[in-house]
């Protein structure tokens, strides 16, 4: 983004700045080369990886092993818990799934490899992140999305993990005061596990699979929180996605911009505040995720008449406005939405013909405006973002066998977890 048409054309007709090879030849080679299946770098067990590298490392000092993991690109640069066989086996007790079960599958463009991490692979990563076994089902649910937290793009994407259902309270996730802060162990290590997956899966290699010009420090633990269902006046996010209240889920989001509100909802209409905040964002495909303190949600329902989250989303869709010239002036909109307008897709085709000062409602699809309730009710504030909802995944299918048949929402953790209280 921000380059002239001549520069952009040069990327196709010229050479790849990273490899020096003609770009068109690289595209043809990628489309015609066979896929090479492999296991990810972080693997448990005694079997050898392709190429003869042993899955188990020899004995060494803690300091040397920490350096070795970093040198191999398996960590985020922060210290890890070394994944010994004993620790990995203990982590595997947190799920009823087989250690050999494949959790996800994705393709690495640069090496033409199909990566299929197993439950055992994810257990190694969970240990490295500092997780407890009771966190493991949540981490497996995140892994099952086959979505790295670090995306191979030049833009500094940020990611968000939202946990809903009984599991959030059982493992002590923070949904209240300081939910996004460095306070609770569960939030911190579950979010970090997603980043370590990205490293071990091969998505954190600068100029190979990671091209983010500036990067994003949010990806150290990916804004990992639980929704404050107990204090929310609306139904939980996972129920909106078709799950039952007693089911536990993980929802993943990704976007560019996250802005804190500066005014309280009681002193200025929230739509007015959101108009200001969303005026600073590039509204790609009308995606927005708004994270409200329970005080704001209560104000909106009890005093402003929004009985459901969907009511509020429809209101925002109709009332967040922007001049057409400003909308098309965003590089990202011009690049990603302009092609849709050229194809005649509405409403973009009509918006392209409007005078620059004509007002439009760029968040035209209320289903793309997600409302989450998180916070400790110390102030009626909120966060506005352009984050897109990627997926909502079930956690219960990864629980230990003892918990799989619970249907009343009262599932307890096995006794072996009591050692961690």
**pLDDT class of 409 with cuts at 50, 70, 90:** very low
Q: Span 265-280, mean pLDDT?
A: 82
Q: For residues 337 and 328, what is the distance between their CA atoms, to the nearest angstrom?
A: 9
Which is higher by pLDDT, 84 or 43?
84
The pTM for the full model equals 0.85
| Residue 149: count of CB within 10 angstroms of its CB | 30
- Band of residue 67 on the pLDDT scale cut at 50, 70, 90: very high
pLDDT band at 418 (very low <50, low <70, confident <90, very high): very low
The Cα–Cα gap between 59 and 53 comes to: 15
pLDDT digits (tens, 9 = 90+) for 366-388: 999 999 999 999 989 999 999 99
| Cβ(39)–Cβ(54) below 8 Å | no
Give the pLDDT score at 402. 55
Q: What pLDDT, on a 0 to 100 scale, did the predictor assign at position 159?
A: 95
Within 10 Å of residue 301's Cβ, how many Cβ atoms? 18
Q: What is the pLDDT of residue 203?
A: 80
Residues present in the chain in total: 421
CB atoms within 10 A of CB 304: 14
- Give the pairing of strands 158-164 and 224-226: parallel
In 3D space, the residue among 166, 189, 305 whose CA is nearest the CA of residue 236 turns out to be 166
Which pLDDT band, with edges at 50, 70 and 90, does 12 fall under?
confident
Does residue 49 fall inside a structural domain? yes
Averaged over 83-104, what is the pLDDT? 96
Q: Is the pLDDT assigned to residue 153 strictly greater than 50?
A: yes
Listed in sequence order, the DSSP H helices in 93-241 are 119-129, 136-144, 166-170, 185-201, 237-240
Q: Which domain holds residue 52?
A: 34-256+388-404
Predicted pLDDT at 3: 75
Angle at 111 (CA atoms; ends 108, 116), nearest 5 degrees = 45
- pLDDT value, residue 42: 56
1: confidence class by pLDDT, cuts 50, 70, 90: low
Q: Which of 49-53, 121-125, 163-167, 263-267 has the lowest mean pLDDT?
A: 49-53
**119: closest CA among 392, 397, 407?**
397
- The average confidence (pLDDT) of the chain is 87
Place of tokens 């889920």: 249
What pLDDT digit, counting tens, does each position of 300-326 carry? 999 999 999 999 999 999 999 999 999
Task: Count Cα atoms within 13 angstroms, Cβ side, for 297.
Answer: 26
Q: Is the pLDDT of residue 209 over 80?
A: no
**247 falls within a domain:** yes
Residue 149 lies in a domain: yes
3-class SS shares of the chain: helix, strand, coil, % to 5: 40, 15, 50
User: What's the whole-number mean pLDDT along residues 272-288?
Assistant: 90
**Residue 161 region by backbone torsions, left for phi larger than 0, else alpha for psi between -120 and 50, else beta:** beta
Does 212 map to a domain? yes
Residue 37 binned pLDDT confidence (cut-offs 50, 70, 90)? low
Overall average pLDDT of the 173-194 stretch: 96
- Would you say 141 and 241 are in contact if contact means Cβ atoms under 8 Å apart? no
Of residues 157 and 267, the one with the higher pLDDT is 157
Q: What is the pLDDT of residue 415?
A: 34
Pick from 71, 116, 73, 119: nearest CA to 93: 119
106-108 and 158-164 strand pairing: unpaired
pLDDT of 53 strictly over 90: no
Share of the chain above pLDDT 70, in %: 89
Question: Is 193 a member of any domain?
Answer: yes
CA–CA separation, 79 and 196 (whole Å): 12
Residue 90 located in a structural domain: yes
- Measured CA to CA in angstroms, residue 83 lies from 49, 55, 98, 103, 302 at distances of 17, 12, 18, 19, 50
pLDDT of residue 227 exceeding 90 = yes
Question: What is the domain count for the chain?
Answer: 1
Are 333 and 256 in contact by the 8 Å Cβ rule? The answer is no
* Bridge partners (DSSP) listed for residue 250: 163, 393
Measured distance CA(167)–CA(60) in Å, rounded:
37
CA distance 13 to 386: 33
The pLDDT-based confidence of 50 (bands split at 50, 70, 90) is: very low
**Which comes out higher in pLDDT, residue 61 or 421?**
61
CA–CA separation, 218 and 309 (whole Å): 26
Distance from C-alpha of 75 to C-alpha of 129, rounded to nearest angstrom:
9
* Segment 325-363, tens digit of pLDDT: 999 999 889 888 999 999 999 999 999 999 999 999 999
Q: What is the dihedral of CA 97, 99, 118, 413, to 10 degrees?
A: 40
Given a cut of 50, whether residue 404 has pLDDT beyond it is: no
Residue 341 covered by a domain: no
Dist CA 397 CA 395 (whole Å): 6
Q: Evaluate if residue 52 carries a pLDDT over 70.
A: no
pLDDT for position 267: 66
Residue 221 lies in a domain: yes
């Amino acid at each position: 983004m921000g380059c002239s048409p001549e520069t952009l054309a040069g990327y196709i007709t010229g050479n790849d700045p990273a490899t020096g090879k003609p770009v068109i030849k690289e595209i043809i080679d990628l489309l015609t080369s066979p896929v090479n299946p492999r296991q990810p770098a972080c693997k448990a067990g005694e079997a050898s990886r392709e190429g003869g590298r042993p899955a188990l490392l020899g004995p060494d000092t803690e300091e040397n092993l920490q350096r070795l993991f970093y040198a191999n690109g398996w960590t985020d640069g922060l210290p890890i818990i070394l994944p010994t066989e004993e620790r990995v086996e203990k982590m595997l007790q947190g799920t009823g799934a087989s250690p050999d079960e494949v959790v996800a599958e994705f393709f690495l463009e640069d090496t033409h490899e199909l990566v299929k991490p197993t439950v055992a692979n994810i257990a190694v990563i969970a240990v490295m992140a500092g997780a407890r076994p009771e966190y493991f089902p949540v981490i497996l649910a995140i892994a099952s999305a086959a979505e790295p937290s670090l995306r191979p793009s030049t833009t500094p994407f940020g990611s968000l993990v939202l946990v809903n259902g009984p599991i959030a309270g059982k493992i002590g996730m923070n949904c209240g005061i300081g939910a996004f802060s460095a306070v609770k162990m569960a939030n911190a290590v579950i979010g970090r596990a997603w980043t370590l997956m990205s490293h071990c899966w091969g998505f954190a290699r600068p100029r190979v699979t990671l091209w983010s010009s500036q990067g994003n420090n949010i990806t150290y633990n990916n804004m990992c929180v639980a929704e404050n269902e107990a204090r929310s006046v609306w139904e939980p996010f996972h129920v909106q996605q078709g799950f039952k209240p007693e089911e536990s889920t993980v929802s993943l989001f990704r976007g560019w911009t996250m802005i804190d509100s500066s005014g309280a909802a009681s002193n200025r209409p929230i739509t007015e505040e959101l108009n200001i905040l969303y005026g600073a964002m590039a509204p790609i495909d009308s995606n927005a995720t708004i994270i409200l303190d329970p005080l704001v949600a209560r104000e909106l329902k009890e005093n402003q008449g929004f009985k459901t989250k969907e009511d509020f989303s429809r209101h925002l869709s109709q009332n967040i406005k922007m001049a057409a010239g400003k909308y098309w002036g965003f590089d990202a909109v011009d690049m990603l939405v302009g092609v849709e307008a050229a194809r005649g897709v509405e409403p973009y085709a009509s918006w392209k013909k409007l005078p620059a000062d004509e007002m439009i409602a760029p968040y035209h699809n209320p289903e793309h405006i997600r409302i989450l309730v998180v916070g400790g009710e110390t102030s009626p504030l909120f966060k506005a973002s352009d984050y897109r909802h990627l997926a909502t995944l079930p956690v219960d299918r990864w629980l230990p066998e003892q918990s799989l048949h619970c249907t009343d929402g009262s599932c307890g953790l096995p006794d072996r977890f009591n050692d961690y209280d």
